[in-house]
């Protein structure tokens, strides 16, 4: 190449670079007119993530052929920053950029760290030429402050789920049934009936003087014609047994105890049910023959007419011989009070068992598990459940021991006890998968800071039909975890069905607030405050709800109460972007002095 041509070529290259540089400068200069919208603004954290949408609108004629304009996002806090991402505009993608404004919207997110609570979202525009790698940057500009951390106000859930001990400490009635049978058309209690095994048992039962609440005597009759002439037959049979029962009480000297027994006399008259029930268990007739009987007794006609039809059946004599005698009876149902130890006796025996001073067999397993509920001492509960496991290795004892470990860990802060609770719950689940042990595990994982694992376990309980008490406790745990996961609608539902305590009411209000239900949230916060007037966080959250409703008086009132209960909240409130709109208010400033 000649020297002249080299000079011309170099000049051309220099010209193109100058033109490229000029284009990039023009783009960065025009970028001052770009429109950037960040939603939400300020930034907010939900479920450990800060997410926002950026909409960018560029001026017309800003993009130059072959060039790219990129908006880079940075979150800056303290002396650190996080590169969040970028949105790019390639000139080729916007052929009408000289007449129409190029537009782009993109969602960005970055993991939240508590150190990020005070910072700002900055952007920097970069105009570049992909062909030669040249670029020119704009100055950084702040587009949104950050970060609103209201979702982090959630109170950690806690619930120690105990499995049912299986013991009923209330009065229980035991039914005893004894039948006496009569001859056709008779209400005389025969001596053979008195001497029968049933008669002997009847007398022996009365002789024991069991504490009795009611004696129900039901007389019946068979449905053949001659018997129904005496419509009082069934009642007479019941009355005969009542008299016999009372005679026996006199014999065994019941004295005043007899007056506390309620005798109930019933009679079954012109009722086909006993016959149908007896036929169902009678093998002497075929199914077809039985059906003939059912068709008659279930069909039209009065009682006597149906009797006549039965009498005409070819197998009537067999039925009369084998089935009818069983219908001429008087049934006696006696409800006696089950003997039980008093709570005091159970407590003393359980203490002896747990200390090794009494035989474990002096209490049933149910009584021993129940005994643990009679003491407020967690140490005594622990000892009793350990004794129960030694007596009979079952899942209820392991689960309840795990629940006690959770309560002890909450009091002491001993993390080893949380691990022990997990171990006991896992043993219980291996023995029999159950709802209480899953709830214990969920609460334990929360205490260990493993919220995702806790949430997974809590969700699995739904199919296990927990008791009403455990379901309400679970709903409190699950609702708080749902807030942590950013699932505010489901959290509101869970917490609306949770145990009504200050913590659950507060978390319910927080879920409602984060779900955009500000007035409902305020009501729930006030309920939480009513349950615990010194609940500083509830006052603080109520102030946030008031700020979102532009109610300065309520903001000031609740913040004053919050700071009074917990002075550390003063600095939080001063830096909290929730109060940015009222920060210059004199009453707000005064409240935080």
Domains and CATH numbers, the chain: 3-148 (2.60.40.2550), 173-337 (3.30.1330.60), 405-412+423-591 (1.25.40.10)
Give me the residues paired with residue 540 across strands.
none
| 39: Cα separation from own chain's centroid | 34
The CA distance from 339 to 210, in Å, is 9
pLDDT of 225 reads: 61
The CA distance from 124 to 129, in Å, is 17
Residue 529, preceding peptide bond in cis (omega within 30° of 0): no
- Return the residue matching tokens 């609306």: 496
Give me the residues paired with residue 391 across strands.
none
pLDDT of 255 reads: 82
The sign of the dihedral angle between the CA atoms of 37, 39, 40, 44 is negative
First to last CA, the chain: 81
Residue 147, preceding peptide bond in cis (omega within 30° of 0): yes
Q: Which of 17, 99, 14 is nearest to 63 (CA)?
A: 99
- Could you count the other beta carbons within 10 Å of the beta carbon of residue 241? 26
pLDDT of 229 reads: 55
The residues near 167 (Cβ < 8 Å, ≥ 6 apart) are 364, 366, 367, 369, 370
Cβ atoms of 336 and 350 within 8 Å: the answer is no
Burial tier of 182 (Cβ tally within 10 Å: 0-12, 13-18, 19+) = buried
Cβ atoms of 206 and 215 within 8 Å: the answer is no
The CA distance from 294 to 483, in Å, is 63
The pLDDT tens digits along the chain (593 residues) read 444 343 333 333 333 334 456 889 999 999 999 999 999 999 999 999 999 999 999 999 999 999 999 999 999 999 999 999 999 999 999 999 999 999 999 999 999 999 999 999 999 999 999 999 999 999 999 999 989 999 999 999 899 999 999 999 999 999 999 999 999 989 999 999 999 999 999 999 999 998 899 999 999 988 876 555 556 889 999 999 999 999 999 998 888 777 889 999 998 888 899 999 999 999 999 999 999 999 999 999 988 889 889 999 999 999 999 999 999 999 999 999 999 999 999 999 999 999 999 999 999 999 999 999 999 999 999 999 999 999 999 999 999 999 999 999 999 999 999 999 999 999 999 999 999 999 999 999 999 999 999 999 998 887 888 999 999 999 999 999 999 999 999 999 999 999 999 999 999 999 999 999 999 999 999 999 999 999 999 999 999 999 999 999 999 999 999 999 999 999 999 999 999 988 888 888 877 87
pLDDT of 20 reads: 53
Q: Dig out the tokens for 206 from the structure.
A: 């009365």
The residues near 348 (Cβ < 8 Å, ≥ 6 apart) are none
DSSP for 1-65, please give it. Answer: --HHHHHHHHHHHHHHHHHHHHHHHHHHHHGGG-EEEEESSS-BEETTEEEEEEEEEPPTT-S-T
DSSP 339: P
Query: Strand locations in 382-456, DSSP E?
Result: none
Cβ atoms of 41 and 144 within 8 Å: the answer is yes
Full-model pTM: 0.77
Residue 31, preceding peptide bond in cis (omega within 30° of 0): no
Cβ atoms of 488 and 518 within 8 Å: the answer is no
């Amino acid at each position: 190449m000649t020297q002249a041509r080299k000079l011309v070529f170099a000049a051309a290259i220099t010209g193109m670079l100058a033109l490229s540089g000029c284009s990039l400068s023009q783009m960065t200069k025009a970028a001052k007119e770009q429109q950037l919208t960040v939603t939400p603004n300020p930034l907010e954290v939900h479920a450990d993530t800060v997410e926002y949408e950026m909409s960018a609108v560029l001026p017309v004629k800003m993009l130059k052929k072959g060039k790219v304009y990129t908006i880079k996002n940075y979150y800056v806090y303290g002396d650190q920053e996080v590169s969040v991402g970028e949105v790019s505009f390639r000139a080729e993608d916007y052929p009408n950029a000289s007449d129409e404004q190029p537009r782009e919207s993109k969602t960005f997110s970055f993991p939240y760290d508590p150190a990020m609570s005070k910072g700002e979202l900055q952007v920097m525009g970069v105009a570049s030429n992909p062909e030669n790698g040249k670029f020119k940057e704009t100055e950084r500009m702040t587009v949104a402050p950050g970060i609103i951390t209201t979702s982090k106000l959630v109170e950690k859930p806690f619930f120690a789920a105990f499995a049912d001990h299986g013991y009923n400490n209330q009065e229980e009635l035991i039914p005893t049934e004894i039948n006496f049978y009569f001859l056709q058309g008779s209400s005389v209690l025969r001596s053979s009936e008195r001497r029968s095994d049933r008669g002997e048992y009847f007398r022996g039962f009365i002789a024991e003087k069991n504490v009795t609440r009611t004696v129900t005597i039901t007389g019946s009759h068979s449905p053949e014609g001659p018997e129904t002439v005496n419509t009082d037959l069934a009642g007479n049979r019941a009355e005969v047994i009542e008299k016999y029962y009372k005679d026996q009480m006199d014999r065994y000297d019941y004295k005043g105890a007899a007056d506390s027994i309620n005798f109930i006399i019933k009679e079954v008259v012109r009722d086909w049910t006993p016959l149908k029930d007896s036929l169902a268990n009678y093998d002497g007739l075929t199914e077809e023959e039985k059906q003939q009987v059912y068709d008659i007794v279930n069909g039209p006609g009065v009682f006597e007419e149906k009797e006549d039809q039965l009498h005409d059946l070819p197998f009537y004599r067999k039925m009369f011989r084998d089935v009818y005698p069983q219908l001429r009876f008087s049934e006696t149902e006696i409800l006696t009070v089950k003997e039980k130890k008093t709570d005091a006796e159970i407590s003393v025996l359980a203490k002896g068992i747990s200390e090794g001073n009494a035989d474990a067999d002096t209490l049933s397993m149910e009584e021993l598990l129940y005994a643990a509920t009679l003491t407020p001492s967690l140490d005594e509960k622990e000892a009793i459940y350990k004794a129960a496991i030694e007596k009979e290795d079952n899942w209820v004892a392991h689960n309840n021991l795990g629940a006690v470990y959770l309560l002890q860990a909450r009091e002491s802060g001993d993390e080893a006890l949380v691990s022990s609770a997990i171990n006991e719950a896992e043993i219980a689940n291996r023995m029999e998968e159950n709802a209480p042990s899953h709830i214990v595990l969920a609460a334990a994982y929360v205490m260990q800071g493993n919220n995702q694992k806790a949430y997974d376990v809590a969700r699995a309980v739904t199919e296990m039909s927990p008791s009403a008490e455990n379901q309400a406790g679970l709903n409190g745990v699950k609702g708080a975890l749902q807030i942590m996961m950013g699932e505010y609608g489901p959290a509101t539902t869970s917490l609306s069905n949770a145990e009504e305590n200050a913590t659950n009411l507060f978390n319910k209000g927080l879920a409602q607030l984060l779900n955009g239900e500000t007035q409902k949230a305020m009501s729930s916060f006030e309920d939480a405050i009513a349950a615990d007037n010194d609940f500083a966080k509830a006052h603080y959250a109520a102030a946030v709800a008031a700020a979102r409703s532009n109610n300065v008086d309520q903001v000031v009132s609740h913040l004053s109460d919050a700071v009074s209960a917990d002075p550390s909240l003063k600095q939080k409130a001063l830096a909290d972007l929730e109060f940015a709109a009222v920060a210059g208010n004199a009453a707000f400033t005064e409240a935080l002095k």
